[in-house]
Structure 1
Amino acid sequence: MRIHLPLLAILLLWSVESIAQSTLSVESIMRDPKWMGSFPSGARWSEDSNTIYFNYNPDDNPADSLYKITLDQPALIQKVSLAEEKSLSRSQASFNQAKDQRIYVENGREIWLENLSKGSKKVILEWHTRLSNPNFLADENFISFVSEQNIFVLTSATGAVKRITQISTGNAPSNPNDKKSEKTEKGFLESENLKLLEVVNERQKKDELRKAYREATRSESDDFTYYTGGKNPANLQLSPDARFASFSLYSSSSNKNTKVPDYVAASGYTEDLNSRPKVGTNPTKTEIGIYDLTRDTVYFISTENLPGLKDQPDYLADYPDRELEEKDREVALFGPVFSPDGSKAIVQARSFDNKDRWIAELDLLTGELIPLDRQRDEAWIAGPGIGWTFSGGTLGWLPDSEHIYFQSEESGYSHLYLVNVATKEKSALTQGEFEVFDPFISKDQKSWYLTTSEVDPGERHFYKMPLMGGKMERLTSMTGNNEVRLSPDEKKLAILHSYSNRPTELFLKDNKAKAQEVQLTQGQSEEFKAYSWRDPEIIRFEARDGANVPARIYTPDPEKKNGAAVIFVHGAGYLQNVHKWWSSYFREYMFHNLLTDLGYTVLDIDYRASAGYGRDWRTGIYRHMGGKDLSDQTDGAKHLIDNYGVDPDKIGIYGGSYGGFITLMALFTEPDVFKSGAALRSVTDWAHYNHGYTSNILNNPEDDPIAYRRSSPIYFAEGLQGNLLIAHGMVDVNVHFQDVVRLSQRLIELGKDNWEMAVYPVEDHGFVEPSSWTDEYKRILKLFNSTLLDE
């Protein structure tokens, strides 16, 4: 018997390994992605609508280069020369209303005018110092630009330049009438120096000439100057009718940045990397000034007319003993956005707690706001096209200068709306249980082009719709993601298309619904095509609260099935991974194919907080990360047990970033469900993460400690029973290495011995080195094989 026992063990091991094999390996799939082939990105058109430019790398160079395909030779892919690529560059470009002329900046000091219909261009201004932000005014014979923190206007026909604003970053003189003479007597040393050194003397003369030129371009009304008191004006713009200017002043907060030590810096010394502050910090404050060029005065936008400024959030009901001070909430402003004729303007305001967004008309004569739309969300304002604190998202004017457009989640999904600023009448241009992305107005200003998820949450298609609303005409037909670039003449679509098991390729199509797409690139390598990549089935399972949760499932061949399952948790929180296009998690996708080959069942869930399913799904984690987002994982595990023959004692879980956080919460609070987990680059304490993301979901830690306490894994570490792998980059400036250092100390103090940590000294949040990816995923595979499979 002593002879046969080792033999029996060998036979059993051979039996398991004969089933658990794959043509894939961690080493092969975690190589530099170039092994997969070259896939186009960043498609754009030439101005004559004859050439498509895109980033590509068919020659296996160290990085992508610019390539092109011309419509007269669509089968020929040509690399763009450096000279041609440089000729395509247009810095700070803007178009006239008809889009047949373009102005842009060259060398930081020149404005060029390009006639797109004739294919000609010329310099219309050579300026003495740096300039920026050139724009056509309503009268397109005039062009505004910014220089030396002031606005100037160029008459394109004559080259004459006039300074429009008088803004100084200094302090106002105590007595404006007591102006000191700028001429001072030269001292002995200066006089002698200028006599002796000719070059120095010539330079001073040139400086005096430049100063005289600048003075000559001052506006005639030199009596008025606005002094900012040391603040630098930003976002200077001139209304299209040249009646008003606007600018922003920022009051930066004194937030303390964090430091991330780099132990493998090239210098050989440990160097500190500057990183973001932690949540709960004071946000930057903004003021927007209106410069009335007729009345020579400056005044600032007032927010006091915005409804609900004193409204307190509902969560404060959890703190009944707290004394609340009744005061206006602070807001951040974006704009103004001027109407095409310049007679009107709108502004977007966001409360600092991000529970309110207002869109208001600006009374340009007083600086007061006239509310047009208020979106209130007791969780937080967000969603496609909604924008962020200092971003307007989808926001602008129709050509009639009477209607504004914007996106809102008022219906529960992000849709496109119009408001008539005169009547305040609002209408929804799109509606339904789907979302709208990247709408823009056609060249003839009669239609909208937009992308939506109307067909399915897991698909994106391109549409055309009448400007004032109506039936949407779908212009793309390929299942998956269709990222469209419309040619300038609006006759052709360049489409970056991908499917679940096929990476992105470039297609061309006429701008007609029934036209056929023509594939222009074939980027997959022979090695990549040699494997039959799975097209995961999209399913929905019922959560404990009755919600239908979308997921991707990978099922093994029956003869290979080992009864074990792995649940993958995508990162970012607000991100979609259950869809019909090539995933940004392509390494994980390939790893799931490998796991399925080995007999695992793999489930990839768009849990609560994922993108693509509307407002209620997006905000499902408000004030409790590790609540519904985690229960969706446990309900997914139950679905596998009930419907796919998975052994309840053989379920693992893994993910990175937010997925790492969920993995920790799963192992700490649901130890009976998950036997093993790999937590990668994980948040362990939300009070240590950044402000912009975390404060939306959990409010500020000093204001809502309950939310932070129940959402942070470090408070639940005593619940660990299963097997835990922690992996983290040591120079992660997003989720700091400090997070897992603090957690590891807590696990040590709790006497836990069923965990291990792998650290990666050269990696930031997103790993770069193939060796790091390989090492990490070999450890993950070893964890699952050693703890979930029968010995």
Structure 2
Amino acid sequence: MRYLILFFIGALLSSSLTAQSLSPLTVEKIMRDPKWMGTQPGTPQWDINGSTVYFTWNPDNNTSDSIYYITAGNKTPVKATPQEKTNILYASAVTYNTKRTAYVYVKDGDIFYTTLKPARTLRITQTADWESNPGFYFNDSRIVYSRSQNLYAWDISTGTTEQLTEIKTEGSTAPAAAPPMGRGAGGGGRGGQGAGNQNTNKQDEWLKNDQLFLFEVLRQRDDNRKERERYNKSVEQPAKRGIQLQGKTLRGLNLSPDGRFVSYILSPQPAASSVSTFVPDYVTASGYTTNIPSRTKVGSVQTPNEFYIYDRTLDTIYSFSTDSIPGILDAPDYAKDYPALFKKKPENRKLNWGSANWSPDGKYATIQIRALDNKDKWIMGWDAATKKLTLVNRERNEAWIGGPGGWRSGGWIDPVTTWYQSEESGYAHIYTFNFNTGKKTQLTNGNYEVQDAQLSNNNQYFYITTNEVHPGEKHFYRLHIASGKKERITIMEGANNVTLSPDEKQIAFLYSTPTQPWELYIQANQPGAKPQQITFKARSAEFNSYAWRQPDVISFTAADGAQVYARVYKPANPHPGKPAVLFVHGAGYLQNAHKWWSSYFREYMFNNLLADAGYYVMDIDYRGSAGYGRDWRTGIYRHMGGKDLSDHVDAVKYMTQNFGVNPKNIGIYGGSYGGFISLMALFTEPEVFKSGAALRPVTDWANYNHGYTANILNEPAQDSIAYKRSSPIYFAGGLKGNLLMCHGVVDDNVHYQDVVKLSQKLIELGKDNWELASYPVESHGFVEPSSWTDEYKRILKLFETTLKN
């Protein structure tokens, strides 16, 4: 009888779960605060001893995450107390000496020194100033750190402190922020004046003319803008006791290990003609409209920086002419489209220098240099004996330099061998260069990407993460440098984001699949080792009550023969009208047709909802997406809305041929770059796409920021062809289908101005099959569940009323 009762209860529970799983998803359900889904751990970090793993977690659904930890003896997560959090010393926060017998770190703005045998910790600074970036120098005899823009050395044997640099700020308009020592960023400063600034540049003149061309309402207004800066070469000069800032900003202060040389970067003040934008905020506590300061637009004047090395022994500063850099005069290929612009005598291109990366003995340094036109990256080597620069590697790309590790400066395997990453083979791989022989060696090779690389403590191995198994998987390997032998450490299909223990004997990693959000695991750092799951709460009971689809990860052949990877959601009961929807991921350079948990989890749930409603749904990694190498990444160069859009057209053909979808009932939706593609789809392929939802879309690339846009389309004043064939606003007349636009009013990324301009254009064109939904309190990434709900109810209504004929 007891077993009969248990069976009966089990049947009831099973029936209840089945009923829940069959109950329909609703937009209201899936767009709630994501806490309803479960709680995922984040940012695992090892302590200095390698015995404890700390991570963020929120199993109690508090306002914010807390710090939890596990130990070697207790794998059950424990919440850290406030006192325990104060005393955490992460392995990533310390710097060891050469023999790894002592380390230094920063705590509360002061420098601490710890020896392992005997175990002793000494506080070596206690000041009101903030000290930072400590390290061992002078053959490990001194600890050098930064304070108020200068470098100081504390002698371990005597306890005395010496000031190593004297930064002189005469002529500075304001003191520079305390610079980092080590791998500091070398980018030039950017910024600008308010909207009322009367200074002009070519970009603003182009932009104004473009607006006059676009809008009848603006054609009655006229103004001119122009002005450029030229790079000023410098030569070797006496230091006059110290480093003169000359009104510029100091960055990347970096001492050679022997303490003789100090490398640094000077960035000019932002160009006065660079006009910053602002975003009006209408819903404010004061009741007044306020302006939120924002970025400049693409084409704003970019100021090159300057690189110097200061010889402390000779009190001499060395600066570097760019004349000897290979290809410094090379014009971009697109110059042939603008003979008038490029007819004058070539000049040295403007550059940004990165920080020096010193060899262990200080005899050499490598400096990574980037052309401001984004076409070249050089690694130059500096010989401390001859004071000369030599070429280590030049990577040229007529589109733009990038990819995994594209701007990683690499490091040193031994005193004469440096390593770096490059896409020169077509995929991001690891290379070495020997300063004695001049030989370059490629350590990894194949049609896959090395997405992360870390040198082992003994410099005999690399620990790398690649997508060699499948473009949609991430696995962790140990690569033996001398033999080239590679061992795979992780085994589970999906993504494995690994954090290595300080002794390299264990790994902690976050793991996920398309249907399983991230959970924390721990494992021995050996091939074939069994992973142990630590957390189990990424999926709540309510989330588990629905049978979420495992999307098929497939590939299909595009019109030009390329293989396009995709996720496919198939309906159990297709609607008689056989409708289909394409979801377009944002960011452009991002991957979503993969085998791990998507950052687009709301869209993942919405795609399940669409499949329940009878739609086929496909989500593709179109041209320009991450994970597929250099040529895929740059396939959108000078024509956004070209191959990235044609890949979606080919996706429709694939669904028509393989799933029998009705080519007359095709919808498309996406946000940011996905919104841009949705607009281009409706404007330039109106016979393919019947309806679309463009969320926070770029409508005119001349409105977007410089760092992203200039890579792909160059600058508007120099390559107007690229902008006019890539911006939806020029093709708005092609709209035939049904368009929904949604945009946050306080979007400081893709400004609300974009959708306002396009609305005006659609009004002037007399289009009436479109609508705009504005969200007054939302920026680019929506925060309020009510906004997400309203937005996706509108998207669902659009598809339900237009695609089910």
Shorter-chain TM-score: which interval? Answer: 0.7 to 0.9
Alignment partner of 1:463 is 2:481: no
Alignment partner of 1:279 is 2:282: no
Alignment partner of 1:335 is 2:349: no
Once the two structures are TM-superposed, the CA of residue 82 in structure 1 deviates from its matched residue by 1.4
The equivalent of 1:507 in structure 2 is: 521
| Paired letter, 2:65 | D
The equivalent of 1:167 in structure 2 is: 167
Distance of aligned partners of 1:451 and 1:226 in 2 relative to their CA distance in 1, 3 Å threshold: closer
Q: Is the 8 A contact 1:152 1:165 kept in 2?
A: yes
The equivalent of 1:251 in structure 2 is: 268
The equivalent of 2:655 in structure 1 is: 640
Structure 1 residues 265-298: Cα deviation after superposition (integer angstroms, max 9, x where no partner): 2222111111110000122321122110111111
CA distance in 1, matches of 2:536, 2:118: 35
The equivalent of 1:407 in structure 2 is: 421
- 1:28-39, aligned counterparts within 5 Å? 28-39=29-40
Distance of aligned partners of 1:84 and 1:783 in 2 relative to their CA distance in 1, 3 Å threshold: same
CA distance in 2, matches of 1:559, 1:608: 29
The equivalent of 2:668 in structure 1 is: 653
The equivalent of 2:436 in structure 1 is: 422
The equivalent of 1:384 in structure 2 is: 404
The equivalent of 1:740 in structure 2 is: 755
CA distance in 2, matches of 1:99, 1:615: 39
Q: Is the 8 A contact 2:279 2:291 kept in 1?
A: yes
CA distance in 2, matches of 1:50, 1:414: 34
Alignment partner of 1:544 is 2:559: yes
Once the two structures are TM-superposed, the CA of residue 560 in structure 1 deviates from its matched residue by 5.3
Between the two proteins, the alignment pairs up a number of residues equal to 716
CA distance in 1, matches of 2:680, 2:791: 20
Task: Give the secondary structure class of the aligned counterpart of 1:88.
Answer: coil
Q: Is the 8 A contact 1:504 1:582 kept in 2?
A: yes
| Paired letter, 1:163 | Q
- 1:763-778, aligned counterparts within 5 Å? 763-778=778-793
Distance of aligned partners of 1:470 and 1:499 in 2 relative to their CA distance in 1, 3 Å threshold: same
Match for residue 542 of structure 2 among 527, 530, 550 = 527
Task: Give the secondary structure class of the aligned counterpart of 2:572.
Answer: coil
| Paired letter, 1:350 | R
| Paired letter, 1:354 | N
Once the two structures are TM-superposed, the CA of residue 146 in structure 1 deviates from its matched residue by 2.1
The equivalent of 1:294 in structure 2 is: 313
- 1:123-202, aligned counterparts within 5 Å? 123-127=123-127, 129-170=129-170
The equivalent of 2:624 in structure 1 is: 609
Distance of aligned partners of 1:248 and 1:721 in 2 relative to their CA distance in 1, 3 Å threshold: same
Task: Give the secondary structure class of the aligned counterpart of 2:165.
Answer: coil
TM-score, structure 2 as length reference: 0.86
The equivalent of 2:203 in structure 1 is: none
Task: Give the secondary structure class of the aligned counterpart of 1:654.
Answer: strand
Task: Give the secondary structure class of the aligned counterpart of 1:622.
Answer: coil
Distance of aligned partners of 1:245 and 1:352 in 2 relative to their CA distance in 1, 3 Å threshold: same
Task: Give the secondary structure class of the aligned counterpart of 2:478.
Answer: strand
Q: Is the 8 A contact 1:167 1:227 kept in 2?
A: yes
Q: Is the 8 A contact 2:48 2:502 kept in 1?
A: yes
Alignment partner of 1:575 is 2:594: no
| Paired letter, 1:501 | T
CA distance in 2, matches of 1:431, 1:514: 24
Larger Rg: 1
Once the two structures are TM-superposed, the CA of residue 367 in structure 1 deviates from its matched residue by 5.4
CA distance in 2, matches of 1:557, 1:408: 45
Alignment partner of 1:102 is 2:103: yes
Alignment partner of 1:556 is 2:571: yes
The equivalent of 1:84 in structure 2 is: 84
The equivalent of 1:228 in structure 2 is: 245
| Paired letter, 2:265 | S
CA distance in 1, matches of 2:681, 2:425: 33
Q: Is the 8 A contact 1:169 1:232 kept in 2?
A: no
Q: Is the 8 A contact 1:566 1:603 kept in 2?
A: yes
The equivalent of 1:182 in structure 2 is: none
Once the two structures are TM-superposed, the CA of residue 421 in structure 1 deviates from its matched residue by 1.6
The equivalent of 2:447 in structure 1 is: 433
Once the two structures are TM-superposed, the CA of residue 749 in structure 1 deviates from its matched residue by 0.7
Task: Give the secondary structure class of the aligned counterpart of 1:632.
Answer: helix
Structure 1 residues 331-362: Cα deviation after superposition (integer angstroms, max 9, x where no partner): 11002110111121110111110101110101
Gap runs ≥5 in structure 1? 1-19, 173-220, 388-392
CA distance in 2, matches of 1:490, 1:363: 33
Distance of aligned partners of 1:612 and 1:117 in 2 relative to their CA distance in 1, 3 Å threshold: farther
CA distance in 1, matches of 2:171, 2:612: 72
* Higher mean C-alpha deviation, range 126-135 or range 271-280: 126-135
Distance of aligned partners of 1:732 and 1:469 in 2 relative to their CA distance in 1, 3 Å threshold: farther
* Higher mean C-alpha deviation, range 280-289 or range 631-640: 280-289
Task: Give the secondary structure class of the aligned counterpart of 1:776.
Answer: helix
The equivalent of 2:683 in structure 1 is: 668
Gap runs ≥5 in structure 2? 1-20, 173-237
CA distance in 2, matches of 1:763, 1:171: 42
The equivalent of 1:192 in structure 2 is: none
The equivalent of 2:462 in structure 1 is: 448
Structure 1 residues 62-101: Cα deviation after superposition (integer angstroms, max 9, x where no partner): 1111111112111x21111111112125797432234443
Once the two structures are TM-superposed, the CA of residue 165 in structure 1 deviates from its matched residue by 2.0
Structure 1 residues 13-54: Cα deviation after superposition (integer angstroms, max 9, x where no partner): xxxxxxx98521111111111001111110111122111111
Match for residue 287 of structure 2 among 258, 263, 268 = 268
CA distance in 2, matches of 1:132, 1:359: 27
The equivalent of 2:771 in structure 1 is: 756
CA distance in 2, matches of 1:139, 1:472: 33
Distance of aligned partners of 1:769 and 1:567 in 2 relative to their CA distance in 1, 3 Å threshold: same
The equivalent of 1:485 in structure 2 is: 499
Once the two structures are TM-superposed, the CA of residue 761 in structure 1 deviates from its matched residue by 0.7
Structure 1 residues 629-666: Cα deviation after superposition (integer angstroms, max 9, x where no partner): 00111111111111111011110000000000000000
Once the two structures are TM-superposed, the CA of residue 451 in structure 1 deviates from its matched residue by 0.4
- 1:687-698, aligned counterparts within 5 Å? 687-698=702-713
Task: Give the secondary structure class of the aligned counterpart of 1:638.
Answer: helix
The equivalent of 1:203 in structure 2 is: none
Structure 1 residues 519-571: Cα deviation after superposition (integer angstroms, max 9, x where no partner): 11101210111111111111112211111111111111146565000001100
The equivalent of 1:59 in structure 2 is: 60
CA distance in 1, matches of 2:127, 2:317: 27
Distance of aligned partners of 1:562 and 1:35 in 2 relative to their CA distance in 1, 3 Å threshold: farther
Distance of aligned partners of 1:735 and 1:119 in 2 relative to their CA distance in 1, 3 Å threshold: farther
Once the two structures are TM-superposed, the CA of residue 235 in structure 1 deviates from its matched residue by 2.1
Distance of aligned partners of 1:252 and 1:171 in 2 relative to their CA distance in 1, 3 Å threshold: closer
* Higher mean C-alpha deviation, range 149-158 or range 254-263: 149-158
Q: Is the 8 A contact 1:22 1:598 kept in 2?
A: no
| Paired letter, 2:403 | G
CA distance in 2, matches of 1:475, 1:168: 51
Q: Is the 8 A contact 1:302 1:368 kept in 2?
A: no
Once the two structures are TM-superposed, the CA of residue 302 in structure 1 deviates from its matched residue by 3.0
Q: Is the 8 A contact 1:624 1:698 kept in 2?
A: yes
CA distance in 2, matches of 1:72, 1:768: 40
Q: Is the 8 A contact 1:429 1:468 kept in 2?
A: no
| Paired letter, 1:46 | D
Once the two structures are TM-superposed, the CA of residue 422 in structure 1 deviates from its matched residue by 2.2
Structure 1 residues 283-340: Cα deviation after superposition (integer angstroms, max 9, x where no partner): 2321122110111111223322110000011111112344233111011100211011
* Higher mean C-alpha deviation, range 748-757 or range 161-170: 161-170
Match for residue 371 of structure 1 among 391, 396, 417 = 391
Distance of aligned partners of 1:138 and 1:368 in 2 relative to their CA distance in 1, 3 Å threshold: same
CA distance in 2, matches of 1:354, 1:762: 36
